[in-house]
Amino acid sequence: MLGRIFVVDDEESMCSFMGIMLQKEGYQVETCTDPRKAIGRITEGSFDLVIADMMMPEMSGLELLTEVKKRKKDQEVIVMTAFASVESAIEAMKLGAGDYISKPFKVDEIKLIIEKVIKHRKMADENKNLKRQLAQSQSLDSYIGVSEAVVQLKDLVREVARVGSTVLLRGESGTGKDLLARAIHNLSDRGDGPFVSINCAAIPETLLESELFGHGKGAFTGAISHKEGLLKVADGGTFFLDEIGNTSLAIQVKLLRVLEEKKIIPVGETKPIAIDIRLVCATNADLEEEVKAGRFRPDLFYRLNVIPITIPPLRERVEDIPLLIDHFVDKFCARHQMDRKEIEPEVYGVLSTYGWPGNVRELENTVERAVLLTKGNTLTVKSFPENMVMSKPLALVTQAEPQTPTLESIEKAYIHWVLKQSGGNKTKAARTLGIDASTLHRKLGRYSLDEVDKKDS
């Protein structure tokens, strides 16, 4: 079968002619003489192409085109009419028609146009599927880590992405909440739609409402034209609201309305606008305490906290630090067009004992500074700030009870790094570590690194 085509024309004879002609070409065809009934069938069904007459008594072809595009914006439509004009052709194309045919038409001509439009549709679908597969395959790759905490976190994200519920990402600053929000989007059925984000802490309160909901012309001084809000821009996709704990009670009321009614009202206007978004929020604040203090609405908190995901701080996944160091060294050497710098093994141990109050973001900034300022091709302990290698910064971490990494966790991280450097070759890794192969196998079993080794090799 070449494709499925739906023909809408108020003349029964034209429907019959188109049906017979297209079926002979190998298409599966449905016809309808009532445009209003046709809209419902097109919405429910799956058609590669809709062919609609321009002049029908109950509804014009342009009106039908508009209604179909509202419901299925990717639906291919060809409009045909005996009253051809340049103006109507332009209008049809503006509304999203794939092409325009004048009656009477030559059979060979319409066959070529239909073939072209369906071919374009199938190519677009293939490109969309390829992009989605690529996005899904890469969506969690940017969140570096092999620790048990990260493996469990990624598994949870994959599960959550498949449902449409609101997600609340909780964790300290610098833990990668934005990366996980984008992964949830890419892995969801909204992955082809827009991903829009805003940081509530980075925008003044006076501007935040307009950015979120948009505004009408003349809504306030300086509003010289209509502006579409970011929530509307995200229609059909995912909206990531970072640092939601920084919103005012007034903004919280409007966000609650968005969740309950799926509508927004731009500043200075009264007519609500329907939107279809999935909301992913993030915070580093203790929202339960904010609720008790009266700074955060409890009804909004309960609506946001449908699926909470807690992201562990870097100090609780020490074994990931060597991998992150390698990743950032590769990243910044490439970005600044430098030869890849080597890393002295002592660096991994020293940086694994630091508390990282700024989490992965602090580690990233630290590695970039070391890459740029270190002369020569090797990063040593001296390449990093003295407070990280000499003092006891874990005592400065106040957001959670500090835990000094054990010698075992540091050894586990170092063994994993050596395995990676040796391409998964355990004999070579054992030689580098200065131990025999049986000792390495014993340690791999104890640290549950066998599976990690298989994935990396």
Residues 259, 359, single domain; the answer is: no
Residue where a domain terminates, one of 288, 312, 336 = 312
Instruction: Answer whether residue 136 is part of any domain.
Output: no
**369 Cβ contact list (under 8 Å, min separation 6):** none
Question: What is the pLDDT confidence band of residue 297, given thresholds at 50, 70 and 90?
Answer: very high
Residue 329: per-residue pLDDT: 96
Q: Over pLDDT 70: what percentage of the chain?
A: 88
- Nearest C-alpha neighbor of 92 from the set 69, 124, 122, 71: 69
Residue where a domain terminates, one of 105, 130, 155 = 130
Lowest mean pLDDT among 143-157, 180-194, 421-435: 421-435
Residues 244, 304, single domain; the answer is: yes
Residues 239, 329, single domain; the answer is: no
Residue 447: per-residue pLDDT: 66
Residues 38, 50, single domain; the answer is: yes
Residue where a domain terminates, one of 107, 130, 153 = 130
Lowest mean pLDDT among 93-107, 190-204, 325-339, 375-389: 93-107
Mapping DSSP to helix (H, G, I), strand (E, B) and coil, where does residue 350 land? helix
The predicted model gives 396-402 an average pLDDT of: 40
Residues 193, 292, single domain; the answer is: yes
Residues 179, 322, single domain; the answer is: no
Query: What CATH number did the domain enclosing 428 receive?
Result: 1.10.8.60
Exposed (0-12), middle (13-18) or buried (19+): which is 114, by Cβ within 10 Å? buried
Residues 352, 425, single domain; the answer is: yes
DSSP track, 365-424 = HHHHHHHHH--SSEE-GGGS-HHHHTS-GGGG--SS---PPPHHHHHHHHHHHHHHHTTT
Domain that holds residue 165: 141-312
| Cα distance between residue 135 and residue 330, in whole Å | 22
pTM: 0.64
Could you give the number of structural domains in the chain? 3
Query: What CATH number did the domain enclosing 258 receive?
Result: 3.40.50.300
Residues 11, 72, single domain; the answer is: yes
Residue 118: per-residue pLDDT: 86
Instruction: Answer whether residue 217 is part of any domain.
Output: yes
Instruction: Answer whether residue 221 is part of any domain.
Output: yes
Query: What CATH number did the domain enclosing 50 receive?
Result: 3.40.50.2300
The predicted model gives 49-77 an average pLDDT of: 87
The predicted model gives 82-87 an average pLDDT of: 64
Q: Ranked by mean pLDDT, which of 211-220, 225-234, 290-299, 384-393 comes out on top?
A: 290-299
pLDDT at 308 over 70: yes
The predicted model gives 115-119 an average pLDDT of: 87
Residues 248, 349, single domain; the answer is: no
Residues 397, 450, single domain; the answer is: yes
